[in-house]
Structure 1
Amino acid sequence: MTDFEHLYKPAQKEIWTGRVDDLHDPDAYRWHQLMQFLDLRKPLQKERKLSFCFLGFKSDEGVKRNLGRPGAKQGPDSIRKQLANLPSYFNSDVNLFDAGNILCENNLEQSQELLAEAVYKLLQAEMFPVLLGGGHEIAFGHYLGLHRFFKERGEPLPAIVNLDAHFDLRPWHNGISSGTMFSQIADMNRKNGEPFRYLVLGIQQSANTKSLFNRANHLGAQYVLCKAMRNKPLEDTFHKIDAFAKGGKTYLTVCTDVFSSAIAPGVSAPQPFGMFPETGLRLIKHVARNTHLVSFDIAEVAPRFDDDEQTAKLASVLIFALLNTLYKPDVNLIL
């Protein structure tokens, strides 16, 4: 609880502001009019409605250690500002919560442990966590929380689906970073006698060494190159996702550097030949519709490089599509 006192900040209500078209017509509401606020220092009640809960991870430390461009620490609030004005397609049977931010001052390992505790609390309260990065080091703390929750329940661990230009499977014996998370998870699961199920969509050959490809193959990780999705029908990748997940639980993580830098300039490692937004959107909706998705995060939105907030806007629209798909998977909205 002590860590929560100095590395946790409850939600700032003033971030959730925007246009108000009507104060009484729910069909005219926007997300900021629905938002409720949680303090993770207090006990949470189990939710009976479908409940999505936002939680930020304000960290640049993993990116700095990975020699990337820092700036993602301000990403969670930048994304929130874009989410606030989104139109609501939810009925009264959905709750939206904001649980604030986990902070990382210097000790990344400590902040990841605290993030794991926060994720665990949300899952216990039967909420769907929507985590906002921060660097992609968010993924290790996120997975630790998922691991604890499902192990205690005696249920299979969720498989990991990652939209990313990078494997993030670097060795971590000299320290952890935003490039080591899935290597850490693989080693932890192997030590515990548990499977490492990892699928990466959007890999760039120019962003990964031959050694990393070898490491991925050695660990049994699956991947699809970005150029393969551009040159072949996306249905091929859908089939791969379905075979990988087999209808089981999944955890979806998105690193915004998977997208073309023309669309997503505000990232640590821009990709000129990255994925187009329509492709990412279709992949995310497919995972939401065709697997048992239990948690989600999006990482590496860096406002200091984000011209006209393009990347934060992209992140918000992807979250909009994801939550609406989880809410009504059989309804095809505009996106």
Structure 2
Amino acid sequence: MENGLFNLKQMYEKAIPWTGRIDGYSDEYLRWHQDIKTENLEGLTESADFGIIGFACDEGVRRNKGRTGAKMGPELIRKACANFPIIENIQIADYGNIVCDGPNLEEAQENLANAVYKIQSKNIKTIVFGGGHEVMFGHYSGLRKAYPNQKIGILNFDAHFDNRAIDVSVGATSGTGFWQIARQDENYNYLAIGIQKNSNTKVLFQEAESTSTTYILAEDFVPENENKIYQIQQKWMDSIDILYVTVCLDVFAAPFAPGVSATAYNGIMPDYFFKKIFRKAISSEKLKAFDIAELNPDHDIDNRTAKLAASFVYEVVNA
């Protein structure tokens, strides 16, 4: 490996070729798996519009007392994306996985940050497949290294603020990332959509207020409020330079996303209204990074959560 890129060599898995259905080999038949290039981070010579990297980790979920299993998420998302048809001439490269070996969460997040920095330095947008939502802190840290003087905004579709203070006896978790960033970055810009009142304690709402977090409650995320939501979203996006969108799959109602670390019986719907708000963000020229978190294949049903996750990747690539 390249000197200094990873703390532990075994924390990186090289990309392997994608596989899937083949209907033909001329352009009109092609699917993603037939065109995605596999590239290793030590070389990173491949020019691409989007760079995929997996974050095979759920140590943050374990520390946060959630259901483990999200470590297997990246491969399931890849499989769910493999048969997508190629619509536009967009180049995608897969750079393999950052793997969290045992309890080494902080090292894994640092390795992810280094990988994201290296990819972003080539002017390639990053798409990270989690993993627990601890992926967010690593992804953001890499973006901050790549864009040290610009205002990075994080748009988080999530039932939870993930702004819990670190318990020093436990360390960072899947629920502490925004608390960590708020204390490291004076240009802290956070918009949370889908927050559940019954899943966040008073102290988490107080933390959100004290850090000037903009948020939209799940109960307010309804078509009747579309104009207001658009205005909030646009005002926030106008205030930043770089946009990073992260989707924690537990924001969605359990029938649509059963395979997550913490299901939400009253989560939002991944319907036409949601897609309008989502597309408004990902179509922005400011978008540089996107990730999916909390896919837990052990609890998925008919791969519906993996397919939902993959559908967002497809939207981002074809926005």
Query: Into which bin does the TM-score normalised by the smaller protein fall?
Result: over 0.9
Contact 1:103–1:111 (8 Å) recurs in 2: yes
**2: distance between equivalents of 1:46 and 1:185?**
31
Does 2:231 match 1:239? yes
RMSD: 1.4
Task: Give the secondary structure class of the aligned counterpart of 1:307.
Answer: coil
**Residues 160, 252 of structure 1: 8 Å contact kept:** yes
Provide the rounded CA distance (Å) in 1 between the counterparts of 2:226 and 2:97.
36
Contact 1:59-1:72 at 8 Å conserved across structures: yes
Secondary structure of 2:302's match? Answer: helix
What is the one-letter code of the residue matched to 2:222? Answer: R
Task: Show the counterpart of 1:45.
Answer: 45
> How many Å apart are 1:232 and its aligned residue?
2.7
For 1:217, the equivalent position in structure 2 comes to 209
2:25 corresponds to which residue? Answer: 23
Using the TM superposition, give the Cα deviation of residue 248 of structure 1 relative to its aligned residue in structure 2, in angstroms: 3.0
**Contact 2:152 2:187 (C-alpha < 8 Å) held by counterparts:** no
Paired residue for 2:94? 98
Q: Distance in 1 between matches of 2:157 and 2:300?
A: 20
Matches of 1:84 and 1:4 in 2, distance apart?
29
Return the alpha-carbon distance in structure 2 between the equivalents of residues 268 and 291 of structure 1.
32
Partner of 2:77: 79
- Mapping 1:176-187, distance limit 5 Å: 176-187=172-183
Question: Counterpart of 1:264 in 2: which secondary structure?
Answer: coil
Q: Within the alignment, does 1:293 sit opposite 2:287 as a pair?
A: yes
* Alpha-carbon distance between aligned partners in 2 of 1:5 and 1:27, rounded to the nearest angstrom: 40
1:5-154 equivalences in 2 (<5 Å): 5-13=9-17, 16-24=18-26, 26-42=27-43, 44-45=44-45, 47=47, 51-91=49-89, 94-105=90-101, 106-151=103-148
Structure 2: segments with no counterpart, 5+ residues: none
Normalised by the size of structure 2, how large is the TM-score?
A: 0.94
Give me the whole-angstrom Cα distance separating, in 2, the residues matched to 1:58 and 1:27: 33
Mapped to 2, the partners of 1:163 and 1:63 lie a distance apart of 17
Contact 1:242 1:290 in 2 (8 A): no
Contact 1:46 1:125 in 2 (8 A): no
Of all paired residues, the percent bearing the same amino acid is 40
Give the alignment partner of residue 3 of structure 1, picking from 4, 7, 22: 7
Task: Please give the alpha-carbon distance, in whole angstroms, between the structure 2 residues aligned to 1:159 and 1:291.
Answer: 13
Distance in 2 separating the partners of 1:305 and 1:253 = 21
Conserved 8 A contact 1:281-1:318? no
| Aligned residue pair count | 310
More helix by percentage: 1
For structure 1, the 5+ residue unaligned runs are: 326-335
CA distance in 1, matches of 2:205, 2:214: 10
Query: Scaled by the length of structure 1, what TM-score is found?
Result: 0.89
Give the residue type in structure 1 aligned to 2:187.
P
